[in-house]
Amino acid sequence: MCSKGLTLAPKPGNTGRRLLETPSGLINSIGLENPGIPHFIEHELKTMMDLGPVVLANLSGAGLETYVEGAALLDKTDVPMIELNISCPNVKAGGMAWGLDCRAASEVVSAVRKATSKPLMVKLSPNAPDLSGVARSVVAAGADALSLVNTFQSFAVDIEKGRPYFDNVTAGLAGPAIKPIALRMLRDVMLNVPECRDGRIPVAGLGGISCWQDAVEFIMTGAKAVQVGTATFANPHAMEEIIAGLISFMERKGYGEIEDMRGIAL
């Protein structure tokens, strides 16, 4: 179970409308609203961990210093793993996301790696011009695992008002509409990053997974695990149904464990 993005200081999030349903998708402009890492550690983390599943803390930031300080605070807790969101804007680089450039991605992962001894999963942005290159750079910088992909940058117009739908103008597209593209990007990384292909660096696949068949596609394309987010807005039982469907499918096909089908479509 993974937290929403956490920043060192509390963030109120974006103003105006934050969600827009599209055909087979959902555009969100939340703006990383969260209570801040100190509040999360004091008030939410124990509740999450008491529920039973392994907990991942998603670490977000802007300046390098906030990433490092946030990682250092989480390092002192019992949270088992940190998922590092490098889709956040690099303020000093004019607002370009850390994860769009191999050098910037390597810089932030290296800094966070030094600040924590916990397993570090790096969440990649699909908006990077060279996603496989970014993946290779963060692996070299110390990532223990990868998760991909984050939302796709998108845009919508309020035709009644004749202006952008979101106050923040652009926003992130998620949901079933992005699944085929996310799946292709997973394949690209699996084929072009040797450490992922041979299993040394596990990859969590995500992007539009809403049923067990979607999960099977990602696993057969090499994902060691899958993440489900947007689907739970429409169906709170989506993850339970995906697990049940996976079990039934594996029994029907004679797969004794997930590894028996992982990567067979590559």
Say whether the peptide bond before residue 149 is cis (omega within 30 degrees of 0). Answer: yes
CB 61 within 8 A of CB 88: yes
The full DSSP string for 175-201 is SGGGHHHHHHHHHHHHHH-HHHHTTSS
* 203 phi and psi angles, rounded to 5 deg: -125, 130
- Neighbour order of strands in the sheet with 25-28: 19-22, 25-28, 170-174, 152-155
Q: Please, which residues bridge with residue 153 across strands? A: 172
Catalytic annotation, pick one of 2, 88, 102, 196: 88
Please, what sign has the CA dihedral across residues 22, 98, 142, 85?
Answer: negative
Residue 7 is given by DSSP the state -
Does residue 196 have an active-site annotation? Answer: no
CB 127 within 8 A of CB 134: no
Q: Give residues with Cβ within 8 angstroms of 20, minimum separation 6.
A: 26, 27, 28, 156, 165, 166, 171
User: Distance between CA atoms of 130 and 261, rounded to whole angstroms?
Assistant: 28
Tell me which residues are annotated as active site. Answer: 88
